A and B are shown apart, each in its own frame.
Chain A
Amino acid sequence: MQRFIFEAECAAADAPPTSVFGVYLVGPTIYSFGSEEQKRRYLPGIRSGAEFWCQGYSEPEAGSDLAAVRTTARKVEGGWRIAGQKAWTTEAHFADLMICLTRTNTAVKSQAGLSLFVLDMQAPGVTITPVITIDGAHSVNSVFLDDVFVPDEALIGEVDKGWTYAKFLLNHERTNNAQVHRSRREFERLKAAAALCIGESGRPALDEPGLRRRFAIVEQKLGGLEVTVLRVLIDQTQGREPGPEASIVKIIGSQLQQAITELAMDVFGAAAVVAPEAGGGETAGWTERHLFRRVVTIYAGANEIQKTIVARSTLGLR
C-alpha cells in the first residue's frame, strides 16, 4: 500500500521509473528466500540504487514456456559453472548483477531441476549483444554465458527449487505490470496535449467529438483499474500473497496502456508518424512509446497465458 502511494507520487511528478528488477523482483526474492549473508550483501545496493540488476530468465527456446530453460549450472570446486544463452535481457548492458535461472538437474522433469543464481555481469565469459527493438531503441540484449563461474554463495535458496522462487518473482512482476500510476499520468499528459494540438478539422483535438468520447472511455477504464489494483493491494495487506487474481490487473492494465498510446496516435495524426529528430515538440516520445507498447501484452506472461490462468485457477474451468 505504501508502495502504491509512493508510485502514485513518483508518476505524478514524472520521476524516472525506478529500475524494476532490483526493487520489484530481486529484492522480494532475496528477502523471502535468500540467506542472511545474501540479504546483507544485496539488499542495501537495491535500496540505494547503487547496484543495477537484470533478469536472466528467458531464452530463445524458453519464452512462454519458461521451464524449458536450457542454460546449465554445473557443480565445480567451490561453486558452479553456468553455460547457455539468455534472451531479451532488459538493461543487461547497464546491469551489475543478473538473477539467473538455470538447469541444475537434467534427470528430472522440466520445472523440478531449476535453480536461481546471482551472477556478476563483469565475470569472465559474459558476452552481451544488443537487440534493437521496433522503436529503434536498445533496451534488450542477448546474453551469452560461456562457462561463467559463480561461487557457492551465489545460489539463492536450495538447489533445484528455483522454479518455486521464480514463480514467486513472476507474480510480483505481474502486479507491478498493471502500471496504473504511469497510465494515469500518461493519460493526463495526453489530455493536456490534446487540448493544445490542432486536429485535422482545424480545431483542438480535444474538441473533436469522436476523440472526446474515446478519452471518456479510457477515463472509465482507468478508474476501474485503479480500484481493482487497490482491491488486490488490500488482499495483500491482509496477508495474502498475490495469486491468480493478480493476473487480471496485468491483463486489464496492459490493454489500457495500449489504448492510451493508440489514442495518442490519433490525437497527433500525421505528426506522430514523423521520426522524432524532425518532428520533436508535442509528439516527442509518444510514437516510440506507442510502438514499444505492443510488448506489454507479451512479456511478463503473455495475455493469452494470463487468461488461461484466470479461466482455470480463478474460474475453475476444466
Chain B
Amino acid sequence: MMRRSAEQLDDDRMLRESARNFLEARCAWMPEPRSAAMFADWHREIAELGWFAAGLPEELGGLGADSFQGLSLIEEAGRVLLPLPLATDILIMPWLMRRLPKALASLAEPLAAGRARFGIVREDVRSGGLRHMGGKLSGRGHLSLDAAAATHWVVLAGMRSVGDAALLCVEAAGAGFQPVRLLDGRSGALPRFSGSEAAVVLATGDEAIELAAEIEDRAVAALLADAYGALAAGLALTVDYLNQRKQFGQSLGSFQAVQHLMADAFCDLETLRSLALWTATALTGEPTERTRAAASAKIALGREGLAAASRLIQVSGGIAMTEDYRIGHIYKRLQVSAALHGGTESHIDKLAALSLPPTGRNEG
C-alpha cells in the first residue's frame, strides 16, 4: 500500500472533516425529494469549496490532491446519500485532464469553477453498442448517472475491438438522451446519438482501450466509496435504533440473533472497505492489478454490500420498509450502484478471467 506521510494524513483528516461538516449542515439526508434549484446551489457551493479543483494538477490550476482524497469526498457524499453525481468530476476528469492535457486543458478551469460538468457514456452492448466514424457517433449509450446534468460527455465507443475503439468528448448540449428516474430517486440518462453531434476524438485504438479501462475502474472505485459511506452511516444509525427500540421488555440490540445479523453486516462492510482501499491504492499502479482490485470491489458491492443493506432492513423491522426511513434508501442506492458499470455477474466473469489460467489443460 501507498505510504502516506504524517502531513498527508493531517490533510486527509482536515479535508474529510470539512466535507462532513458541509454535507451535514447543507445536504443532510431527508426523505423528501429536493428541487432542481437546490441541486444547482449545492453544486455551486461544492465548486466553491474546491472539490473539483482538488484533483487537478497545479499547472492546470488545481491542488494536486490524490485519488485517496477524492474518494474520501465521494465517501462523505455517500453518507448523506447526496443525489448529485460527483464521481466523474472529482475522480475521473482531473486524472483524464492530466493524461490528455492537449485536448482537455481548456476545460480544466471551467471544471474547477463548476461551469463544466462531465458525464461518462459507455456503450450499451444490449442495443448494439456505440459506433464512431470520422467524428460522428451513432447508437445508444448505457444508463448513465451523470450524463443528464453534464455539459460534456466522455464517450467510450467501440471498445470491443482495437480497430473501432475511440474515446471522445462530446458537448452535451447537442446530444440527445432519454431522462429516466432511477430506483433510488436519482435521475439518470439513456444517451443516444444521431450522428450530428460534434465529437472531439481524445484517443483511439489501444490507447482508447487503456484509458477506457481506467475510467471504468475509477468509476467503480467511486461507486465503492459512495456505497461504503452510505452503509457506514446506515450501520451507525441502526446501532442507535436497536439500542433504543424495545420489544419483549428488552432492547432489540440485546437479542443474540440481532447481534449476529449486525456482526455479519459489519463483516460485509469491512470487506467492502478493504476492497475499496485496495482499489484506491491500485488506481496508481499496474493495470492488471488495478482491474483485478476494481472487479473484486464491484463484486463485493453487489454481494456483501447488498447483503449488509438487507440485514440492516431485517433487524430494523417494519420501519425500514417505509419511504420515510433512511435504511431503505441506502438499499436502493446500492441496488442502483450494483447495476452501473457492469453488473455483479459480469465482474465475476472478469475476475475469473484475470485471476485464473485461461483454460484448464489436459496434460498428455
Interface of A toward B, CB cutoff 8 Å:
58, 61, 63-65, 68, 87-88, 131-134, 136, 198-202, 208, 210-211, 258, 262, 265-266, 269-270, 272-275, 277-279, 287, 291-292, 294-295, 297-299, 302-304, 307-308
Selecting from B105-113, B176-184, B288-296, the interface stretch reads B176-184
Q: Is the CB of B323 within 8 A of A136?
A: yes
Residue of A nearest to B128 (CB): A202
Q: Is the CB of B345 within 8 A of A211?
A: yes
- Most chain A C-beta atoms within 10 Å of own C-beta, residue among B255, B338, B345: B345
With A64-B317, A278-B181 given, name 15 new contacts (CB 8 A).
A65-B249, A201-B349, A265-B335, A266-B345, A270-B339, A272-B339, A273-B183, A273-B184, A274-B190, A279-B180, A294-B314, A295-B321, A298-B321, A302-B314, A304-B255
In angstroms, Cα B178 to Cα A201, docked, is 23
Q: Tell whether B344 is near chain A: CB-to-CB under 8 Å.
A: yes
Q: A200-B125, A277-B181 are in contact. Are A134 and B323 (CB under 8 A)?
A: yes
Q: Is the CB of B346 within 8 A of A200?
A: yes
Q: Is the CB of A275 within 8 A of B181?
A: yes
Q: Tell whether B328 is near chain A: CB-to-CB under 8 Å.
A: yes
Q: Is the CB of A134 within 8 A of B332?
A: yes
Which of chain B's residues 190-220 have a Cβ closer than 8 Å to chain A? 190
B332 cross-chain contacts in A, Cβ below 8 A: 134, 291
A61 cross-chain contacts in B, Cβ below 8 A: 246
B257 cross-chain contacts in A, Cβ below 8 A: 304, 307-308
Mind listing 16 A-B residue pairs with CB under 8 Å?
A65-B248, A132-B323, A133-B323, A199-B345, A199-B346, A200-B346, A210-B349, A266-B343, A266-B344, A272-B339, A273-B340, A274-B183, A278-B180, A294-B310, A298-B318, A302-B317
Q: A265-B339, A274-B188 are in contact. Are A68 and B247 (CB under 8 A)?
A: yes
Q: Is the CB of A275 within 8 A of B255?
A: no
Q: What 9 A-B pairs come out closest when comparing CB atoms?
A: A304-B257, A65-B247, A134-B328, A275-B181, A132-B323, A278-B180, A270-B143, A198-B126, A273-B183
Residue of B nearest to A272 (CB): B339
- Most chain B C-beta atoms within 10 Å of own C-beta, residue among A88, A201, A298: A298
A275 cross-chain contacts in B, Cβ below 8 A: 180-183
In angstroms, Cα B336 to Cα A274, docked, is 8
In angstroms, Cα B337 to Cα A273, docked, is 9
Q: Is the CB of A294 within 8 A of B339?
A: no
CB of B192, distance to nearest CB on chain A (Å): 14
Q: Is the CB of A273 within 8 A of B345?
A: no
B178 cross-chain contacts in A, Cβ below 8 A: 278
CB of A115, distance to nearest CB on chain B (Å): 21
Q: Is the CB of A274 within 8 A of B180?
A: yes
Q: Tell whether B95 is near chain A: CB-to-CB under 8 Å.
A: no
Which listed residue (A63, A200, A258, A302) contacts B343, Cβ 8 A?
A: A200
The total of interchain contacts (Cβ-Cβ below 8 angstroms) comes to 126
In angstroms, Cα B311 to Cα A298, docked, is 11
Q: A202-B126, A273-B339 are in contact. Are A304 and B318 (CB under 8 A)?
A: no
A58 cross-chain contacts in B, Cβ below 8 A: 318
Q: Is the CB of A294 within 8 A of B331?
A: yes
Say whether chain B's binding surface is mostly helix, strand, loop, or mixed.
helix
In angstroms, Cα B317 to Cα A63, docked, is 8
In angstroms, Cα B322 to Cα A88, docked, is 10
Q: Is the CB of B180 within 8 A of A200?
A: no
Which of chain B's residues 313-364 have a Cβ closer than 8 Å to chain A? 313-314, 317-318, 320-324, 328, 331-332, 335-336, 338-340, 342-346, 348-349
A287 cross-chain contacts in B, Cβ below 8 A: 183
In angstroms, Cα B306 to Cα A211, docked, is 18
In angstroms, Cα B179 to Cα A68, docked, is 48
B317 cross-chain contacts in A, Cβ below 8 A: 63-64, 298, 302
CB of A173, distance to nearest CB on chain B (Å): 15
In angstroms, Cα B336 to Cα A287, docked, is 11
In angstroms, Cα B346 to Cα A272, docked, is 16
- Most chain A C-beta atoms within 10 Å of own C-beta, residue among B257, B302, B318, B324: B318
In angstroms, Cα B182 to Cα A297, docked, is 25
A64 cross-chain contacts in B, Cβ below 8 A: 247-248, 317
B342 cross-chain contacts in A, Cβ below 8 A: 200
Q: Is the CB of B183 within 8 A of A131?
A: no
Q: Is the CB of B125 within 8 A of A132?
A: no
In angstroms, Cα B339 to Cα A298, docked, is 26
CB of B252, distance to nearest CB on chain A (Å): 8
Digitize B231-247: 1 where CB-to-A-CB distance is under 8 Å, 0 elsewhere: 00000000000000011
In angstroms, Cα B349 to Cα A280, docked, is 29
Residue of B nearest to A210 (CB): B345
In angstroms, Cα B346 to Cα A63, docked, is 40
Digitize B164-182: 1 where CB-to-A-CB distance is under 8 Å, 0 elsewhere: 0000000000000011111
In angstroms, Cα B183 to Cα A275, docked, is 5
Residue of B nearest to A275 (CB): B181
- Most chain A C-beta atoms within 10 Å of own C-beta, residue among B183, B258, B306, B323: B183
CB of B30, distance to nearest CB on chain A (Å): 14
B345 cross-chain contacts in A, Cβ below 8 A: 199-200, 208, 210-211, 266
CB of B153, distance to nearest CB on chain A (Å): 17
In angstroms, Cα B343 to Cα A278, docked, is 20
CB of A108, distance to nearest CB on chain B (Å): 16
Residue of A nearest to B341 (CB): A270
A88 cross-chain contacts in B, Cβ below 8 A: 318
In angstroms, Cα B125 to Cα A279, docked, is 17
CB of B157, distance to nearest CB on chain A (Å): 16
CB of B173, distance to nearest CB on chain A (Å): 22
Q: Tell whether B142 is near chain A: CB-to-CB under 8 Å.
A: yes
Residue of A nearest to B342 (CB): A200
Residue of A nearest to B318 (CB): A88
Which listed residue (A269, A274, A278, A294) contacts B321, Cβ 8 A?
A: A294
B336 cross-chain contacts in A, Cβ below 8 A: 273
In angstroms, Cα B183 to Cα A291, docked, is 10
